Structures are given as structure tokens and as C-alpha cells.
Structure 1
Amino acid sequence: MRCPDKMQALNLLFVWKPGFKSPRKAHATREDTMDTSSDLRDAVEKYLHVRPQEVKIHEKPDDFFSINRGDIVFVDGLRYVISGTARERSLGLDDEPKYWVKYAYEVETGNRKIIKLIFHEQFSVKYGDYVIKCFRSPAKEGRALECVKGHPHFMQGHTAVAKGNQAIRVINHISGGTLLSRIENYAGTHETYFHEFLPSLLGLFLPCVQSLDVLHRSGIRHGDVRSDHLLLDKETGKLRWIDFDYDFVFSEAPFALDLLGIGNILSELVGKGERTIHNLRSNRRLTERLGSLTPEDFSVVEASRLMNWKKLYPYVPDSLNRVLMHFAAGAELHYESVSEIAEDLAYAAAIV
């Protein structure tokens, strides 16, 4: 995708980004009841190891603020014991509650689940002269779950109907940390990381890049491609994409934000988890190299995110740096598809 003149100096501006403020409490029609029957109290005690005097039941879970640990949610004929509320993992929002996402146990089987309740929000991204509308779409996530059913590199789940015809997503729990945490937890030097640890990470990441083509061929975007949306499944040893409920409208390049997300993750992989050069300024050995950086070395959409890591670390191979530079402000050509990125990355990863 050749950059037209009006897109030479792109800047990413979040007019509003979800997560910075908690969503306002909905004024829902409540259909919650309290139950003292032994079987539900037994279920809560079995999974949470505390026996309540009574259990709050949600048959129409439209007010997610009212659903708390120890409550029971009925979805599509099945009962779930709520064990907690999910929290944001990254973007400076660590521990920010995601009240519409609940951890749960399926009462009949004991399987751990994630219950994603209905929550709509939207924000805009300024992309040069364009403004891209981004929004949360539960229906789109449901379509994505159907599209990737059985695929080892995506979370698994289904859309279930609760009372009131609410399309709630029930997701299988994945045990494992994020790709971002795996990068950041490496304690050695960058050079040691690059030569001894990065090759295995690229081997894990490449199939995930290729797997996004499954969605794109069906006209579906992931919508929020980030390194904290890749979990390393302890059972399979594979990275798996999670959280498909964001979507965006950009007719000029329908999958652009997904592709840019891949570039951002690759930059974090090569940079050993660094998103900006701020933390590197204290490294005296890099002072001269940092001074050589220009705006063209940074992301085409985020002026603080470095893409030209070879200027700081000369041992980065040209083939790998070329992939990164497709996402830089100084690039004349940008990727148009996942398959293009995957082909170049496969070649680069083979010689790291």
C-alpha cells in the first residue's frame, strides 16, 4: 500500500479510549432474586470455598455492576458461579476493572469460563486526514468465535442467549500468561535476549500472524491486536488470540489497524518489551545512537513507538528490520495483508 502524500505524516490520536473511565451504571430492569436452596449454596461453596446464607440469582444479567463474586448467572439454560471480575492488562490501565467481563465456573461441569456481558462503547482514531470509528461489537465477536472454532491459535467459546435475548459470549478459560509478560520478565541484557530468547518467541508468534488470515478471509477483523491479547496456553504451548469484540470502519484499508497491531507487537518483541525509547535514555552506551534517530524511524501512527531498532542494536538482521520498517513513518510501502507480513517474517525469523 503506497502512502499518498496526505498520509506521509500520520499521527494516532485517541479522541476517547475505553478503559480510562469506568462505564456508567445502566438503569436496567432488574430480575434478580435471592435463593436459599441448598444446591446453589453447595455450588458456591464447592467452587469458592465459602458457604453463603443465600445466593443472588441473575436470570437477566443486563446490569453487570450488580453481578458479584458468589452470585449465580443463568445463561442459555446453564448456571454459572461468578468468581470475580476481569481487569485490564495493559496500556497503563493495569487493574482497571472490566465490569462486563466475569470469571465463572459452570455449575454442572466445574469448567472455568469467562462470561462477557453486553457492553457498548465507541471511540475515534485520527489517522492522518481520516477519522476511524472504532467500537465494541458483541455480535461481531460472536461471528469471530464461530469462524475460528477449533483453531488452536484463538480462544474458544460461543454466543449464548440469556433472558431478554442478550447475546452473551461464554469463553473457555485459558491458563497462561500474556506474550507481553513473557517478554518483560526476561532479566538479561538485550543482546542476550535477542540471540537466545527472541528466536523461540518469533517461532511462537509467526503462526499467530498467519492465523489472522482465517478471520480476514471471512471479512472479520480481530479489532484489537496487542501483545497482551496473546496468551501462551499452558496446555498446548501455543499462543492464542483473545478478545475479538472491538471493530472499526475504515473503507480505504479495511484491515489496517490489525496489520499495524502486528507491527507494534513485532516492535515490542525486537525491543525486549519497550514501547518507547523513554526507558533507554538512561543507558549511556546508547546515548549516541539515540541521538541519531529521526521521526522516520518511528511508527507511522505512533510517533513515540520505535520501529528502526537496528539503529540502536546493530546486530538486528536487515531482513527483520525491513519488516519493521514497513510500519515506520519513513516507509514508502506498507503491508496490505497478513500474508505479506507472514511471508517476510518467516524469512527473517529463520535467520535470527
Structure 2
Amino acid sequence: MTPAPATETVAPLALGPAVQLLRELGDLKRLRDARSPLSLADRAFLRSWRRLLAGEEPGDVARAETAAALAATRLAGVDASVLRLAGLSPEEVVDVLRRGFDAVTSTAGRTLGELSDLREALGANASAGPGGERALPAPPPFAEALVRQPRAGATHPALPRVVVEPPESHGDHCFTTAVYAGLLAPLHGVDRGEAFFTMLGHHLPNADLPDAGFGGEVLLGDLAPRVLGALQERSLAQLPARLADRLRGLLPLREDVGSALGRACTSADVLDRVLQVHHHARAAGFTAAQALDDLDIVHPGPVQEFQLRLLADAGLPVR
């Protein structure tokens, strides 16, 4: 949809130390475990829609899912349900989740402002968070389609597309940008829930429209607003009227940088697109030294000396 025009010029935020935290959140698109073939981000995307269909307020969903995502940057799939399965008490579950949360948020300093509401939300996650999803309704069909729909990546109407493997899904992108927007929202004076909800639904047309990227939208020309608008309405029709009407009112603002909501959403979108490209560049340039030297893949401990000698004798010295 064509965004409302910007009405004022406002300088973007200086995010500085928060970029590493955002990069780690983006990696949830690439983390998986044995419970599902989907990435952690795709699963959180579907769970967020299920919670909304169950009647939870967007603000509550935003806080719970953003807090869980922050903890997952360090704990990966070790969430509340896994910890409860291992026999931990609710208090012990919260302690572990908060250690993961604190480990990643400490790197951002005060750049993202006060995060105590998110840290507090981990307490609710420990008893009714990601592990309690079996009682939730099924996700709307468009959400399942967005998880299956790959993103186009970098495209241009006059140039060959840059194909990278594996592509992220629209569920990956929408959840990641929703978390980014929810984190940035208070810095713009916007409610976390509004920003999160807007970005969770900002690619509704792509449930039906295969992604040809920026290049494809340019080639659609004057027909683009009609195509995108019709397909967005097909997805909105799958939501209860109260949610559809609320989202329909928010979406036109998401690229209007004259509005605080638009600045939070536009920032989230461009950060995710650029960090995704950086991920592929890093993956292409990965060296063994990064894992062996920087990350101590032969971990310090009682058997390290034995392992280092073994590797040296095999012609695979670590240092």
C-alpha cells in the first residue's frame, strides 16, 4: 500500500551498541531444534498470531515474545517448556531465562532505554509462555503461507537478482522486524504493542503474492497499489474484525517517517534487510580461525590439553 507522505524531518536514532543485539536477534531466523523443522523466528511468528487470535492484547504479546526472543539469542531453543520438562521449578525457569536475557541486553548498554517491562514478562513466559501453546487456536492461513513463502533478497528491475541460500521466509522477516520495532518503539514515544503488531502484519499480501522484491514492485508499476491492496484484504479477511480493523488502520503509517510509529517501523525494516545481507556476507567469508581462535571451539576445561595435543599430532593445530 502507498504510505502516507512524511510531514516532517526527524533525525534517526543513533543505535550504536544495540546493533550487535539486533544482529543476534536476527540469527533466530537460522536457529532450529528437534521440535520443528521451522526456525525459532518462524515458530515465534506463528505463536504470536495464535496468541492474538486467542484474545491477548498486542502489547502483552509484544512484551512476552520480545522477551523470549532476547533470552533465546543466548539460550536458543532452551525455553520455558524445555526447562519445565527437565523438572525445574517456575522460579528456576525464570532465573535461567533472565540470565539469557541479561547476557545479551548488557551489550546494548542504555541504547534501547528501559527494558524492565520485558524482563518482567519472562515471569509470565515461565508459566504460560512458548511452552503452553497447545491450547492456543490454529494460526490464520496467511501466517502459515508467509512461513512457507521465501523472501526475494536483493533485486533490481534492471539487474539479475542476487540469489543466496537458504532464503529467509516472510515469517522470519516479519517476526524479526516486529521485535526490532517493539524494542525501538519507546524511544520514539510509541507503544511496543502497536509497533510489534504493525510489523507482524506488514507483508500480508505476500501470503498470496510470491516475492519478486523491489524489482518486481517497480515492474508492477501503477498496478502495484491495486495488487497489494487486494491481496492484503484477502489476508485481513482471515482475522476477527477487531484485529483486522486495528491492523488496517496501522499499516498505512508504517513507512510515514513523519509519524513516530512510521519511524519505529521503517527503522526496524531497513535494519533487518541490511543485517540480513551482512549475515550472508559473513557466512561467505567465514574462516576456520574465527571458530578455532575467536570462539574457543576447543573449550577450556580438563580435557583441553589432551584435545590440543591430539589435533596438533593430526596436523590440525588450533593455534
In which range does the TM-score fall when normalised by the shorter chain?
A: under 0.3
TM-score between both structures, scaled by the size of structure 2: 0.24
User: Which structure's residues are more often helix, by fraction?
Assistant: 2
Q: Higher relative contact order by CA 8 Å / sep ≥ 6: 1 or 2?
A: 2
TM-score between both structures, scaled by the size of structure 1: 0.22
Q: Between Structure 1 and Structure 2, whose CA radius of gyration is higher?
A: 1
User: Which structure's residues are more often strand, by fraction?
Assistant: 1
